[in-house]
């Protein structure tokens, strides 16, 4: 295979290549962690095309009509780099967040800056501090950097325990806060985030992941970036904007903080992602409409669960944790047998499975299967 020969010529051994080919053939154990990869790791075999896929916090609505138009018209001009589209995206999001454009770094999604921040700011002597249960991608990057991950249980109200996180290690490199949290969809009060920024160990950065912020009632913290705090915020277009496959995102931070994650960057960003993201930002309706729609769907499913005495953790996001009252892996398999693919299990909460909220039709199928499996 030509591709294989190319890798071999560049010094990648046949064994390495076979290992990589194995990763890709499995479609699962890729050497980096993203939501769909993590979702795939917890299931066996491919997902049937007619299955309900509520396992990876994706948005079944896809891009809004304005974004879709922008993507379609820019695709025909895909032979050009068009760096101006990236500049336009950066300026648009910066203006909306009241940030100077140099406080914004554009990316193809937010996994990339998440990994870079952890790689740049943690090391064998600078641990990574994260909530438990929390989004796993960061501690996988910390493993790669040779850094210890310190997992701090959520509080009784399912917020980040910012006091315990600040006290976790005086040499902490990164303290990661996800608001709303993945997988619980629960909020950490803004006052706690402010307290953490003021009281964290010297030399550490707070990495605030606002992937799901638009689904919730939480106030974004970009003003704290503008105030030059030791804070990097991540945003993605994969969630409310429905562009996970198109790829767009950004990191907000003081220029000196962002500088440390730019070193390995090279090349252009996808014009489809940048054009679609700018069009999404310019839409006045996409966020409020989708936020209300999600709230209604969430309330419907929560009242169904209450009516049927099924325990769950109330959430402000597009996902929530359901208590299956058994080792949750068994529940996940039983739901798969009904062609409902629900989310994975976090070791800290072994009886819970994360459920992504899909379309009304998908949630109706979920409810039917759930009653059968929980009976
Ligand atoms: C909390 C959180 N951060 C970051 C990401 C990364 O998403 P993306 O790379 O698609 O922006 C995800 C994906 O699900 C996520 O849940």
CA of 30 to the centre of ligand 1 (A): 16
pLDDT digits over 180-189, tens only?
999 999 999 9
* 270 and 124, same domain (yes or no): yes
pLDDT at 8: 43
Q: Is 128 in the pocket of ligand 1 (CB under 6 A)?
A: no
Give the mean model confidence (pLDDT) for residues 71-83: 97
Whether 109 is in the pocket of ligand 1, judged by its Cβ within 6 Å, is yes
| 123 CA distance to ligand 1 middle (Å) | 23
Binned at pLDDT 50, 70 and 90, residue 38 comes out as confident
Residue 63 lies in a domain: no
**Whether residue 72 is found in the same domain as residue 139:** yes
Are 11 and 110 contained in the same domain? no
Residues 6+ apart with CB under 8 A from 293: none
Burial grade of 214 (CB within 10 A; 0-12, 13-18, 19 or more): buried
Whether residues 125 and 241 share a domain: the answer is: yes
Which residues are registered as beta bridge partners of 321? 313, 354
Say whether pLDDT at 315 is over 80. Answer: yes
**Closest residue by CA, ligand 1 atom 12:** 35
- Same domain, yes or no, for 293 and 219? no
Residue 23 above 50 pLDDT?
no
CB 221 within 8 Å of CB 210: yes
Per-residue pLDDT tens over the stretch 214-264? 999 999 999 999 999 999 999 999 999 999 999 999 999 999 999 999 987
Q: Is residue 62 part of a domain?
A: no
249 and 274 in a common domain: yes
pLDDT in tens, 123-177: 999 999 999 999 999 999 999 999 999 999 999 999 999 999 999 999 999 999 9
Kindly state whether residues 274 and 344 are assigned to the same domain: no
Residue 39 confidence (pLDDT): 76
Give yes or no for residue 249 CB within 6 A of ligand 1: yes
The predicted pLDDT at position 267 comes to 85
pLDDT at 21 over 70: no
Looking at residue 266, its pLDDT comes to 79
Tens digits of per-residue pLDDT, 323-358? Answer: 999 999 999 999 999 999 999 999 999 999 999 999
The token pair that represents 154 in the structure block: 């959520």
Residue at a domain's end among 237, 264, 282 = 282
Ligand 1: which of 238, 243, 247 to mutate, judged by most atoms within 8 Å of the beta carbon?
238
Last residue of a domain, one of 282, 306, 333: 282
- Is 6's pLDDT higher than 80? no
Number of domains the chain is built from: 3
The CATH code of the domain that includes 368 is 3.90.1150.10
Q: Average pLDDT over the chain, rounded to whole?
A: 92
In this model, does residue 45 exceed pLDDT 80? no
Beta strand extents in the chain (DSSP E only): 52-54, 104-107, 128-132, 149-153, 174-178, 205-209, 231-236, 249-252, 312-313, 319-323, 340-342, 352-356
Q: What is the pLDDT of residues 175-226, one digit of tens each?
A: 999 999 999 999 999 999 999 999 999 999 999 999 999 999 999 999 999 9
**pLDDT tens digits, one per residue of 266-278:** 789 999 999 999 9
Residue 353 near residue 342 (C-beta atoms within 8 A)? yes
Q: How do residues 358-368 score in pLDDT, each as one tens digit?
A: 999 999 999 99
pLDDT above 50 for 311 = yes
Does residue 217 sit in the same domain as residue 290? no
Range of the structural domain that residue 109 is part of: 68-282
Under DSSP, the state recorded for 47 is P
Average pLDDT over residues 65-76: 97
- Give the pLDDT confidence score for residue 89 in this predicted structure: 98
Q: For 57-84, what is the mean pLDDT?
A: 97
Distance (Å) from CA 211 to ligand 1 centroid: 6
**The predicted structure's pLDDT at residue 44:** 62
Same domain, 205 and 235: yes
Last residue of a domain, one of 282, 297, 321: 282
């Amino acid at each position: 295979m030509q591709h294989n020969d190319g890798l071999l010529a560049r010094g990648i051994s046949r064994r390495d290549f076979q290992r990589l080919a194995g990763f890709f053939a499995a479609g699962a154990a890729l050497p980096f962690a993203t939501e769909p990869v993590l979702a795939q790791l917890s299931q066996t075999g491919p997902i049937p095309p007619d299955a309900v896929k509520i396992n990876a916090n994706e948005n079944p609505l896809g891009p809004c009509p304005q974004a879709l138009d922008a993507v379609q018209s820019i695709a025909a001009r895909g032979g050009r780099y068009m760096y101006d589209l990236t500049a336009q995206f950066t300026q648009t999001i910066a203006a909306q967040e009241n940030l100077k454009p140099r406080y914004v770094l554009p990316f193809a999604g937010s996994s990339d800056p998440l990994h870079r921040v952890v790689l740049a700011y943690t090391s064998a002597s600078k641990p990574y501090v994260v909530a438990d249960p929390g989004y796993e991608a960061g501690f996988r990057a910390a493993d790669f950097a040779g850094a210890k991950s310190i997992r701090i249980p959520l509080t009784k109200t399912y917020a980040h325990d910012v006091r315990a996180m600040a006290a976790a290690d005086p040499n902490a490199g990164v303290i990661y806060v996800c608001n709303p949290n993945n997988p619980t969809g629960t909020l950490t009060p803004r006052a706690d985030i402010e307290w953490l920024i003021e009281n964290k160990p010297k030399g550490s950065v707070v990495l605030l992941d606002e992937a799901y912020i638009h689904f919730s009632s939480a106030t974004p913290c970009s003003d704290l970036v503008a105030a030059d705090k030791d804070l990097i915020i991540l945003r993605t277009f994969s969630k409310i904007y429905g562009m996970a496959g198109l790829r767009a995102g950004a990191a907000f931070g003081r220029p000196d903080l962002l500088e440390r994650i730019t070193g390995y960057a090279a090349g252009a960003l996808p014009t489809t992602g940048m054009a679609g993201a700018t069009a999404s930002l310019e839409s006045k309706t996409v966020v409020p409409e989708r936020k209300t729609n999600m709230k209604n769907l969430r309330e419907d499913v929560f009242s169904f669960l209450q009516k049927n005495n099924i325990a769950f953790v109330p959430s402000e996001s597009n996902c929530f944790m359901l208590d299956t009252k058994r080792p949750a892996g068994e529940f996940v398999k039983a739901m798969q047998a009904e062609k409902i693919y629900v989310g994975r299990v976090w070791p800290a909460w072994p009886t819970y499975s994360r459920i992504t909220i899909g379309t009304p039709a998908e949630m109706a199928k979920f409810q039917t299967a759930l009653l059968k499996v929980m009976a």
